[in-house]
Amino acid sequence: MIVANSEPKGALLYLNDQLQNVTNTTLSNLIPENYHLKIQKEGYTSWEKDIKVEENVVIQIDARLFPMNPSLTPVTLYGCYNPQVNLDNTKIVFQVRDNEEKNGVWLLVFNNLPFGKGYDLKQILKDTANIKYSQAESLWSQDGNELLVSIQNDNITENYIVTNDILSTSVTKSTKTKEEIIMKWKIEADSLTKDKISTLSLNTQGIIKDKTIFWSPDQNKFYYENRDGFVEVYDLEKETITTSTIKISDYQSVIWFIDSERFIFVENNEETKSGKLSITEIDGQNKVSVYEGILISKEVFVSPNGNKLFFLTNFNPSSSTSTNLYTLNLD
């Protein structure tokens, strides 16, 4: 039996090139053998895979189709620098430097409203005559509840800890150094990671020993680079390892998609400020290019509902040097 779902729904479902139904649907009474499954919808990329049907085994298919011509929308208009997302993917911090009235530190806060843009913008620190928050470096704590804002003034680094989303021109300076704050957060993060790894089998712990691991948004999977340089995914619930056909060194960044079933691969040339964004399933199949063009950095973010990608670009480099944050609509 094959349970075939797709996002969006209403896609044509083919089995060995024969139209069967539209998604979402169930195909039953199939002879146990190998089949080629294809899902198509006008205006969207297609999805296809070879699958093996076995007796008394239910195969769950959750295909994600992406628009062939996704729209781009500006998020910021006055420049965007050093965007950083917090660990739970609810906020993006960035600096505005190109507008005297707007200069400072800003937050993009995602919301779950069924209407609107899906996010709100709010300024939390405004430049003053003495303190240029817009020139700061911002870093999130492990839990995403604290924001370290570090500013270099006359060869002295001043550190501020921001804990709320209320606009301010003044925050209390930290008595700790930047290194001390980061080390404290790193110890907390390492402790959490150690606790998670301790629940794995000894064999799995041996496989990932001395490897850097990257947890999925649902915390049920993680990926690492195997000895041959390919992405390898460990599924905690299924206790399985999937080796992808994707080689990490071919990309500047490998990012989990929000559904924990896919990756975003970033190709970025810093010299030409160009790049490409692709999305693929964790095994490397159904790779889709969703954007190719001006790409200022390898920093790419995905909205909590998975319908938007956020990245830095500049579509008018001849008239402005400002980079802005844009969204790519994936619906």
Distance CA 189, CA 184 (A): 9
How sure is the predictor about 170, in pLDDT bands with cuts at 50, 70 and 90? low
Q: What is the mean pLDDT of the chain?
A: 92
Q: What pLDDT is attached to residue 153? A: 78
Q: What pLDDT is attached to residue 86? A: 93
Q: What pLDDT is attached to residue 311? A: 97
Q: Please, which residues have CB within 8 angstroms of residue 146's CB and are 6 or more apart in sequence?
A: 140, 161, 162, 163
Q: 191 — phi, psi (to 5°)? A: -65, -45
Q: Where are the alpha helices (DSSP H) in 26-177?
A: none
pTM: 0.92
Please tell me the number of Cα atoms within 13 Å of 142 on its side-chain side. Answer: 13
Nearest alpha-carbon partner for 308 in 298, 300, 316? 300
CA 164, chain centre distance (Å): 24
Nearest alpha-carbon partner for 83 in 107, 109, 102? 107
Q: 203 — phi, psi (to 5°)? A: -65, -45
Nearest alpha-carbon partner for 310 in 330, 293, 287? 330
Report residue 39 as tokens. 């899902």
Q: What pLDDT is attached to residue 144? A: 85
Report residue 170 as tokens. 């003044």
Question: What percent of the chain is predicted at pLDDT more than 90?
Answer: 77
User: pLDDT at residue 17 above 90?
Assistant: yes
How sure is the predictor about 208, in pLDDT bands with cuts at 50, 70 and 90? confident
Sheet with 324-329: strands ordered across:
72-74, 324-329, 308-313, 300-302
